[in-house]
Structure 1
Amino acid sequence: MLSFLGLTRKSGQLLLGYNKNEEAIKTKKVSLLIVSKDASENTKDKFKGYCEKYKVPLIEDFTPDELGYALGYEGIAVVGITNKNMSKKLLHIYDSNKEEE
């Protein structure tokens, strides 16, 4: 999944950071949100609320270092995917990997 996330970044279909994603969710531009499992409780609670309100799927299963490594940055806490097809593919890969565990 993290490899495909890197491809998503290269295609320009990804938003990084708290503020960009907060605004994008409110304007319904995000179709999948990934929040680091090591993000602050305040951050996780805020984005969980936004995702419920705006019906955006949320994944909270990676460390900031794992996300950062996949995207070529250091320590990423919040990642938003703006392309619906990419989001569906990422969710499918994520769900398939969860079933194998």
Structure 2
Amino acid sequence: MNNKERALNLLGLAQRAGKLISGEALVLQSVRSNQAKIVCLASDAGSNTSKQFLNKCEYYKIPLVTRFTREELSHALGKDRTVCALIDDGFMHSLQKLL
């Protein structure tokens, strides 16, 4: 199993542990409230969505990962998603180590 697969498994685990937020509106809200520790945005997300999250994450100094496709993120989370955010320091550090 490579690190990318491990990272995707970690996202699924974080979701089951209640430490992951997904969906554009909820992730934006978590970024604005500084609850998000790291944001994962699908590499094939639409240009408006990408621009919005790039700007927000830069402004609030939150790391942004674009290593996964929409299909990979959706599969890892078990629902159709373009963006998600980890809201736990432990999961964030684990993800950063894998990437």
SS at match of 2:85: strand
Over the residues paired in the alignment, what is the CA RMSD in angstroms?
0.8
Cα deviation code 1:34-62 (max 9, x no counterpart): 00011111111111111111110100121
Instruction: Work out the number of aligned pairs and report it.
Output: 93
1:99 — aligned with what?
none
Answer yes or no: is 1:7 the counterpart of 2:13.
yes
What percent identity do the matched residue pairs reach?
29
Structure 2 unaligned spans of 5+: 1-6
Structure 1 unaligned spans of 5+: 95-101
Q: 2:75 aligns with which of 34, 59, 69?
A: 69
Normalising to structure 2: TM-score of the pair? 0.90
- Paired with 1:84 and 1:46, the residues of 2 have a C-alpha distance of 24
Moved over 4 A (4+): none
1:90 — aligned with what?
95
- Paired with 1:44 and 1:88, the residues of 2 have a C-alpha distance of 23
